Amino acid sequence: ITFLLSREYAEEEQEEEDGEGDNALRILSFCVSFYFSLSRPMVPQLAPPKIPEGDRVDFDDIHRKRMEKDLLELHTLIDVHFEQRKKDEEELISLKDRIERRRSERAEIQRVRAEKEKDRQNRIAEERQRKEEEEAKKKADDDAKKKKVLSGMGANFGGFLAKTETKRGKRLTGREIKKKTLAERRQPLSIDSLREDGQRAQEMWNWIYELESEKFDLVEHMKHQKYEVLLHQENNSFHKGHGKGKVGGRWK
């Protein structure tokens, strides 16, 4: 309606030749009215000027009031536009801040998680290396103990045989008498350095004794279980072969 009135008013003004100032006002009014006709915001409703009936129509007053109305609508549109633009900019800034804050938090979480995973892998590797070193050291110590015990057992076994032959008290031959005489003439050897080997040999002997004891217990347990299995099989065979039978018309 505003567009049509403006156009009608422009046609009426064209009939009147009022000068260049009126032409500029007509063009401005036409542009503003056409813009409002395309997109009109929520503006306060102004009553259109009333044309008095029966009197002379004052077109200048109507034009002035129409221009005031258009300018008021233009100012309102500009205010609404800038207010909405300000809100949009504030929301955009807030959104950017939230995105940056979330990105920083995610990066921090990933960094902490990566450090924890790295520490966990390092602890696992250190624990594995420590266990391997302990096992290797233990194996080397066991091998060294076994070698020393076996070597000590060989030397002690020779002396044990010699003592056994001496205790038997059997008659010695000439060759054995010669060996005995030469052995008595020899200087006694220092055995202080052999005490450690003797202790290790005793430890190895205790270990072997424990192993033999465990072996004996396991063998006896296995024999007992075997006996129980055989007894159970015989009982099952007996029950199967001598089940319930009918004697004299009654169940036995």
Q: Return the top range by mean pLDDT from 38-42, 81-85, 154-158, 168-172.
A: 81-85
- Residue 247: in which H helix or E strand, if any? strand 246-247
Question: Cα(142)–Cα(218) distance, rounded to whole angstroms?
Answer: 25
Instruction: Report which residue type is found at 65.
Output: K
- Candidates 34, 46, 42; CA nearest to 1 is 34
Q: pLDDT for 59-70, tens place per residue?
A: 777 788 888 888
Compute CA 2 distance to the chain's CA centroid, rounded to the nearest angstrom.
Answer: 69
Radius of gyration of the chain (CA): 60
Q: At what angle do helices 20-38 and 59-168 cross, to 10 degrees?
A: 40
Q: pLDDT for 191-238, tens place per residue?
A: 555 566 667 777 777 788 778 778 888 888 888 888 888 888 888 877
Tell me how many degrees the CA angle 103-108-114 measures, rounded to the nearest 5.
Answer: 125
- Candidates 60, 77, 65; CA nearest to 16 is 60
Residue 34, number of CB atoms within 10 A of its CB: 13
For residue 17, what pLDDT is reported?
Answer: 47
Alpha helices in the chain (DSSP H): 2-15, 20-38, 59-168, 174-185, 195-241
**Tokens 């005490």 sit at which residue?**
195
The total number of residues shown for the chain amounts to: 252
Q: What is the pTM of this model?
A: 0.30
Mean pLDDT confidence for 43-49? 53
Sequence-separated contacts (24+) of 10-19 with Cβ below 8 Å: 12/59
Strand-pairing partners, residue 246, are 251
pLDDT category at 252 given cuts 50, 70, 90 is: very low
- Domain map (residue ranges) of the chain: 2-100, 196-237
Instruction: Report which residue type is found at 238.
Output: F
Strand-pairing partners, residue 251, are 246
Instruction: Report which residue type is found at 23.
Output: N
Please classify residue 152 by burial: count the beta carbons closer than 10 Å to its beta carbon, then call 0-12 exposed, 13-18 middle and 19+ buried. Answer: buried
For residue 176, what pLDDT is reported?
Answer: 65
Q: pLDDT for 75-132, tens place per residue?
A: 889 889 999 989 989 988 988 899 999 999 999 999 999 999 999 999 999 988 998 8
Question: Cα(101)–Cα(107) distance, rounded to whole angstroms?
Answer: 10
CA distances from 213 to 210, 219, 220 (A): 5, 10, 11
Q: Higher confidence at residue 21 or residue 242?
A: 242
